[in-house]
């Protein structure tokens, strides 16, 4: 099954393997550059059926680091257009972009300089649903005003419209890994007492309003969301709440959700082991009809096959293994090898 085609909205994917979004922290002024050309050219050549660009900030305040991609203006649009054209000229598979705002997780050091550490120099003010630190080592974010929330919504929709203009086929809204929309969803980060906080219905308001806005302005695009199956912390989102969110997303007719977990604090109960989100994906798949993608240490395709055959997921997203083992898909089936390379695999 893993190598069988799959219909996603109006496109056929040639297999069930998607390149997972991976931040490169290599942009200057939010623009993709030579590194991104090299990285995405490599990824698109691996045989994946769909590629999702790394988390891209909807405005410069929403960056994680100074080196994040940003899609908020026409200069950035033109630069994204060029790289999307380049990739499409190599292979006509759906290309998505993950849109995000970092919230209280922004203003960070680049991970290979200092992992999970806020900036001390050249830092910026961060915003969150409530003025609650990520943990004691992190700065206090400012609570977003209602006007601030309105602007976040506007910027997500603007960024999605620019994505469509740039030639992307898919927008994936990041609602996981402790970033702003996850902060709104999670009761441990959102203590508001207005229509954006409190019960789950209110906590879901902003992410759902953003999806609604994107759906109405980006007709024809594949729309997905990366969600958290569980916060894996006491008092955080549990699978039942996550299923309720997904049912709401289903009503809005989004095309897929990618199940992830953890991230709301620097340390959670998440244990990184083979297929660590698969149990959550399976629970969600049993309770909803939406297309499910899952990621998290799916390193060999036999395991990927097993979880698809057992209907635990529809699609798998692979990140690190596509970089460390780029022939993963070629070794599974030669039909994914470009003809120019076939002799190397005889």
Ligand X SMILES: Cc1cc2nc3c(=O)[nH]c(=O)nc-3n(C[C@H](O)[C@H](O)[C@H](O)COP(=O)(O)O)c2cc1C
**Closer CB to ligand X, residue 79 or residue 98?**
98
Q: How far is CA 283 from CA 234, 239, 336, in A?
A: 20, 8, 32
Rounded to a whole number of angstroms, the minimum distance from the CB of residue 263 to ligand X is: 9
**What residue number has its CB nearest to ligand X?**
319
Q: Which residues bind ligand X (CB under 6 A)?
A: 20-23, 54-55, 98, 174, 177, 226, 260, 295-298, 318-321
**Closer CB to ligand X, residue 192 or residue 232?**
232
CB atoms within 10 A of CB 140: 13
Rounded to a whole number of angstroms, the minimum distance from the CB of residue 17 to ligand X is: 11
**Closer CB to ligand X, residue 114 or residue 320?**
320
The tokens for 339 are: 């003809």
**Closer CB to ligand X, residue 62 or residue 319?**
319
**Closer CB to ligand X, residue 89 or residue 112?**
112
Which residues lie below 8 Å from residue 86, measured CB to CB, with a gap of 6+? 37, 41
Rounded to a whole number of angstroms, the minimum distance from the CB of residue 266 to ligand X is: 15
Which of 90, 76, 97 shows the shortest CA–CA distance to 33? 76
Rounded to a whole number of angstroms, the minimum distance from the CB of residue 261 to ligand X is: 10
The tokens for 180 are: 């702003």
**Closer CB to ligand X, residue 45 or residue 56?**
56
Which of 82, 79, 84, 83 shows the shortest CA–CA distance to 95? 84
Rounded to a whole number of angstroms, the minimum distance from the CB of residue 102 to ligand X is: 11
Handedness of CA 92, 166, 176, 7 (dihedral sign): negative
Rounded to a whole number of angstroms, the minimum distance from the CB of residue 243 to ligand X is: 20
For residues 221-231, b (16+ Cβ closer than 10 Å) or e, as one string?
Answer: bbbbbbbbbbb
């Amino acid at each position: 099954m893993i190598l069988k085609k799959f219909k996603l909205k109006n496109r056929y994917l040639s297999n069930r393997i998607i390149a997972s979004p991976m931040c490169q922290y290599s942009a200057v002024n939010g623009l993709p550059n030579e590194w991104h050309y090299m990285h995405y050219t490599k990824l698109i050549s691996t045989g994946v059926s769909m590629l999702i660009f790394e988390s891209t900030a909807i405005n410069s305040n929403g960056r994680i680091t100074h080196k994040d991609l940003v899609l908020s203006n026409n200069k950035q649009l033109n630069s994204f257009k060029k790289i999307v054209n380049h990739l499409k000229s190599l292979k006509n598979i759906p290309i998505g972009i993950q849109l995000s705002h970092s919230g209280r997780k922004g203003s960070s050091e680049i991970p290979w300089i200092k992992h999970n550490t806020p900036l001390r120099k050249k830092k910026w003010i961060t915003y969150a649903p409530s003025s609650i630190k990520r943990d004691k080592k992190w700065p206090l974010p400012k609570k977003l005003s209602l006007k601030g929330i309105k602007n976040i919504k506007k910027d997500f929709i603007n960024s999605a419209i620019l994505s469509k203009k740039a030639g992307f086929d898919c927008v994936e809204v990041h609602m996981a890994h402790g970033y702003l929309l996850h902060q709104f969803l999670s009761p441990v980060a959102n203590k508001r007492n207005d229509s954006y906080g409190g019960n789950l219905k209110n906590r879901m308001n902003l992410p759902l309003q953003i999806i609604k806005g994107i759906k109405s302005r980006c007709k024809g695009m594949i729309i997905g969301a990366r969600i958290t199956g569980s916060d894996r912390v006491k008092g955080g989102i549990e699978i039942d709440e996550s299923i309720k969110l997904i049912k709401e997303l289903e009503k809005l007719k989004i095309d897929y959700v990618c199940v992830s977990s953890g991230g709301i604090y620097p340390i959670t109960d998440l244990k990184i082991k083979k297929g660590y989100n698969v149990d959550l994906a399976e629970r969600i798949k049993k309770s909803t009809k939406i297309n499910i993608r899952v990621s998290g240490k799916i390193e060999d395709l036999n395991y990927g096959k097993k979880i698809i055959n057992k209907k635990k997921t529809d699609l798998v997203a692979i990140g690190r293994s596509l970089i460390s083992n780029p022939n993963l898909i070629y070794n599974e089936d030669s039909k994914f090898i470009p003809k120019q390379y076939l002799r190397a695999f005889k």
